[in-house]
Amino acid sequence: MPMLPDPSIKYKPYTPLNLPDRQWPSKVLTKPPIWLSTDLRDGNQALANPMTIEQKSIFFKTLIKCGLKEIEVAYPAASDTDFNFVRGLIEGNQIPDDVWIQVLTPAREDLIKRTVESLAGAKRAIVHMYNATCPCFRDVVFRNSKEETIELAIKHTKIVRQLTDEATKKYGTKFKYEYSPETFTQTEPEFALAVCEAVKTAWGRAGLGEDRIIFNLPATVEIAPPNHYADQVENFCRKISEREKIVVSLHPHNDRGQGIAAAELAMMAGADRVEGCLFGNGERTGNVDIVNLALNFYTQGVSPNLDFSDLQSVIDVVTSCNDLPIHPRHPYAGELVFTAFSGSHQDAVKKGFEAQKVRHAQAAAKGEPQYWDIPYLPIDPADIGCTYEAVIRVNAQSGKGGIAYLVQQHLGLDLPRKMQISFYQVIQAKADKEAREMMVEDITTSFRETYKFGGSKYEGRLVLKSFKISAEPASEDSSNEEPADERRLFDGTILVDGVLRVIRGDGNGPLSALLDALSTHLDLQFAIREYSEHSVGEGSNVKAASYVELVPALEDTKSTRKSAESWWGVGVDSDIAGSGLRAVLSAVNSAIGERVLPELKLNVGFNAKSGQADVASAIVHSLRLELPRRLQASFFEVAQRAARETDGHLSYSDLVTLFRETYHYELPNTPGRVVLRKYKMENVPGQGDEKGTKLKQVTGDFIWDGKPRQMVGQGTGSLSAVIAVLNSEINGTLSVREYAEHSIGEGSDVKAVSYVELAYDVDGKRSTAWGVATDHDITASGLKAAISATNKLEVDLKPFVDGH
Ligand SMILES: CC(=O)SCCNC(=O)CCNC(=O)[C@H](O)C(C)(C)COP(=O)(O)OP(=O)(O)OC[C@H]1O[C@@H](n2cnc3c(N)ncnc32)[C@H](O)[C@@H]1OP(=O)(O)O
Ligand SMILES: CC(C)C(=O)C(=O)O
């Protein structure tokens, strides 16, 4: 059947109440109403499968936990389940002393008796009786006149009074009486008043405080806009006699979808109490939603006296007991209500959080309240136990702000604006292509993949393994009065397509020194257009995050700056230089794509093309030894000499063999004149140098020129203690010029490598030598390296005297 072109031939409009001096429109709600949950009665009667006693019990406990003090628990005359549930609550002593249970009964003597019977032994109870008062029901359902309708209400109110008086005598129960002229909103206002006046008189004991009689004014079916309900309620409140002895209660339904508005306006009109259900369950479109109303108060800064700080567990109980879902857009409770998909909303939310952080810090410093004021978010999700995770969700309608927000929340990175735009394009393209929502994991994974960020799984073609930044004074310019800036030298080991390479460069800062190294060794020419950094974390865990925008380095710096092409990179490191260097390599990885990079070709000797770094690269790649810079220089000379002796050519494997032989590195069966077989290192009690450094004592089992010998020495560290031992038994003096160490391998295979350069002074002459050694124990690797250097120096051992 089509909809009617003229619905007025079928539907009559409501009859407005003439209340020109209405006061409610300018009232403001400043205190919550008395709440009554009718989930277990009106909500329950609307379910296809009414709740079992077990479900009602769980629900009841949840209502108590939320802070409800008045709970309509049943229609006891309707079924054994309802009757027995009430009995169970009372007999099981499950009703807290400050909670009133309420039960509903029609105006029928037999059913009232059964209802009051169900309450035997209760401490506090509200008996709620209803009968229909509106014309349609009077005429059609009851076929009663107005007078008969009033008589019905009076007669049965008196029955309630008599039965409850008897129960009070017998059990000491404190009773309240609630009367509902059903459907109040469709009843003539003057007639509703007349019925209630008659009921008040019949009840005969309306008083103050807890003795107030409750007149519940149901909008059994919502038939008019909410202002009409408010007018009706204000009219009732003004005209009912002894207003102070009455609790005016609201019972809105939601047929026109305005139950919340109706309740709020009617509260402004003077009502004291609201009956409703959690999340708006109830007949047809439901009863008014108590959670919604309560949280509306909360967001106005008014405590609702109900606690929904763990809203999800309330949702879980209610949805399982009612066997009904909650709509994803349901106010406060729907799973999408704190979610922004669209770009401009996300941008505003992100900026809102940032601004609020600053505002709150300022307010806290001044001891002022920290107000919530975030665009599009009327309530802090955390207050009702929700996390912010769902606040921003990303699809093809989303913008950079939301994506950046998620990166910030989940990776702790505060991307610079231009990088946000750049990464947004990555996500936008993916969302569009896959036509689906981008989950947080999609975004963080794409971020890691795009910027080669976050561990070995996401490594790019270039990976920083280790580096050293050193300072070198710039050449003095005597014509310039300004002090010359220091230059920075970058010395690092990077993995290039799986091959460890040593690269080095210089510049006026660590990043430009790295760019210089990339240009020299890998023929990659880039310049930095934008750089920024911030800290991540706090205290001893604080790290630096750096962001770099690279552009191709062109001859002309103006064109470089204007380049349309650019690549962003990010790096995080506990060292700020390290984070910047990682950010540069992150951007370089994006820039090079699949471009072929120059391989390491060794060319040592005459017309040598390979420099120190290339030789060091061969060593780091084959032996994983990251030689200190001066050892690189020293070994380079060794290699050059060797190449000259072999017609100017040295193969890769020759070079590695040469290194092993030069430093006796991991060559078995090549003991020198001094061998340290075993040692014991101890702190010397009470001994220290003038700086308070604790002294160490080493006791070593040596093979000294072929003979076993135990020797003891002390020093401020293990190395100096061994040098002290050696110095006591040689002519001349050994001293440590340089010491370096690093680890190789991973997990349980990890070993320490030590590099020691010793100087030997004897007879006014000085010679130097490097020793290199590994061990699972870092002290042992240092000592072995020192002994290896000692043997290379051919020190003059004092002759061995037995018993010495
Ligand atoms: C708006 C509301 O939500 S009101 C509450 C509605 N809730 C329920 O009805 C749930 C529980 N109800 C029940 O289990 C049953 O209806 C019972 C046990 C109360 C009564 O069952 P029955 O005796 O079989 O009557 P039935 O369900 O047909 O109710 C209709 C009768 O009650 C009368 N009636 C309806 N409401 C009331 C009332 N408030 N007071 C007195 N009589 C009433 C009707 O006029 C009708 O009477 P009739 O049989 O003389 O014509
Ligand atoms: C019994 C009354 C209050 C009722 O449930 C209604 O009118 O909706």
Render pLDDT for 729-773 as a digit per residue (tens, 0 to 9): 999 999 999 999 999 988 888 999 999 999 999 999 999 999 999
Shared domain check, 169 and 33 = yes
pLDDT average, residue stretch 54-81: 98
Query: CA-to-CA distance for 529 and 549, rounded, in angstroms?
Result: 5
Q: How many alpha carbons fall within 13 Å on the CB side of residue 450?
A: 21
**Nearest CA, atom 7, ligand 2:** 220
Shared domain check, 237 and 291 = yes
298 alpha carbon – ligand 2 mean position (Å): 27
pLDDT given for residue 602 in this prediction: 73
CB 546 within 8 A of CB 571: yes
Shared domain check, 264 and 407 = no
**Nearest CA, atom 5, ligand 2:** 42
Domain membership of residue 35 (yes or no) is yes
Query: CA-to-CA distance for 171 and 174, rounded, in angstroms?
Result: 9
Ligand nearest, relative to CA of residue 259:
2
Per the structure, how many domains does the chain have? 5
521 alpha carbon – ligand 2 mean position (Å): 85
Q: How confident is the model at residue 474 (pLDDT cuts 50, 70, 90)?
A: low
Query: CA-to-CA distance for 406 and 402, rounded, in angstroms?
Result: 6
Ligand 2 pocket mutation pick from 72, 141, 180 by most atoms within 8 angstroms of CB = 180
Domain membership of residue 14 (yes or no) is no
Shared domain check, 790 and 686 = yes
Shared domain check, 59 and 149 = yes
**Average pLDDT of the chain?**
92
Q: Which of 354, 326, 336 is nearest to 392 (CA)?
A: 336
Q: How confident is the model at residue 396 (pLDDT cuts 50, 70, 90)?
A: confident
Structure tokens at 719: 């190395």
pLDDT given for residue 520 in this prediction: 92
Which residues have any ligand 2 atom within 6 Å of their CB? Answer: 42, 104, 130, 180, 182-183, 216, 218, 220, 251, 253
Shared domain check, 703 and 580 = no
107 alpha carbon – ligand 1 mean position (Å): 9
| Ligand 2 atom with the shortest distance to the CA of 130 | 1
Sheet holding 674-688, edge to edge: 674-688, 694-704, 707-715
98 alpha carbon – ligand 2 mean position (Å): 25
Q: Residue 442: which CATH number?
A: 1.10.287.1400
Ligand nearest, relative to CA of residue 78:
1
Ligand nearest, relative to CA of residue 80:
1
Structure tokens at 644: 């000259």
Render pLDDT for 676-722 as a digit per residue (tens, 0 to 9): 999 999 988 776 666 666 789 999 999 988 889 999 999 999 999 99
Render pLDDT for 645-663 as a digit per residue (tens, 0 to 9): 877 677 888 899 999 999 9
Q: Which of 19-28, 40-49, 451-460, 678-687 has the lowest mean pLDDT?
A: 678-687
pLDDT average, residue stretch 222-248: 98
Domain membership of residue 739 (yes or no) is yes
Domain membership of residue 86 (yes or no) is yes
Q: How many alpha carbons fall within 13 Å on the CB side of residue 77?
A: 18
CB 677 within 8 A of CB 701: yes
Domain membership of residue 330 (yes or no) is no
Q: How confident is the model at residue 804 (pLDDT cuts 50, 70, 90)?
A: very low
Sheet holding 733-744, edge to edge: 733-744, 751-762, 765-775
Q: How confident is the model at residue 469 (pLDDT cuts 50, 70, 90)?
A: very high
Shared domain check, 445 and 462 = no
Ligand 2 pocket mutation pick from 130, 136, 177, 186 by most atoms within 8 angstroms of CB = 130
106 alpha carbon – ligand 1 mean position (Å): 7
**DSSP strands (E only) in 459-617:** 462-473, 486-496, 499-507, 526-536, 543-552, 567-573
* 98 DSSP assignment: T
Render pLDDT for 142-162 as a digit per residue (tens, 0 to 9): 899 999 999 999 999 999 999
Shared domain check, 370 and 291 = no
Domain membership of residue 603 (yes or no) is no
Residue where the block lists tokens 């077990």: 54
Q: How confident is the model at residue 435 (pLDDT cuts 50, 70, 90)?
A: confident
CB 776 within 8 A of CB 747: no
* 734 DSSP assignment: E
Render pLDDT for 325-376 as a digit per residue (tens, 0 to 9): 999 999 999 988 988 888 888 889 889 999 999 999 999 999 999 999 999 9
Domain membership of residue 479 (yes or no) is no
Q: How confident is the model at residue 37 (pLDDT cuts 50, 70, 90)?
A: very high
Pick the more confident residue, 261 or 642: 261
Percent of the chain with pLDDT over 70: 95
Shared domain check, 398 and 275 = no
Q: How confident is the model at residue 477 (pLDDT cuts 50, 70, 90)?
A: low
Query: CA-to-CA distance for 586 and 550, rounded, in angstroms?
Result: 10
Shared domain check, 548 and 417 = no
CB 388 within 8 A of CB 382: yes
Which residues have any ligand 1 atom within 6 Å of their CB? Answer: 42, 45, 75, 77-78, 106-108, 111, 130-131, 141-142, 182, 220
Its pTM stands at 0.68
pLDDT > 90? residue 15: yes
CA distances, 343 to each of 392, 394, 398, 400, 432 (Å):
10, 9, 4, 7, 14
Q: Which of 404-408, 459-463, 627-631, 796-800 has the lowest mean pLDDT?
A: 796-800
736 alpha carbon – ligand 2 mean position (Å): 95
Shared domain check, 404 and 347 = yes
Ligand nearest, relative to CA of residue 149:
1
CB 543 within 8 A of CB 533: no
The domain in which residue 684 lies consists of 674-797
Q: Residue 770: which CATH number?
A: 3.30.160.270
Shared domain check, 184 and 153 = yes
334 alpha carbon – ligand 2 mean position (Å): 27
131 alpha carbon – ligand 1 mean position (Å): 9
Domain membership of residue 332 (yes or no) is no
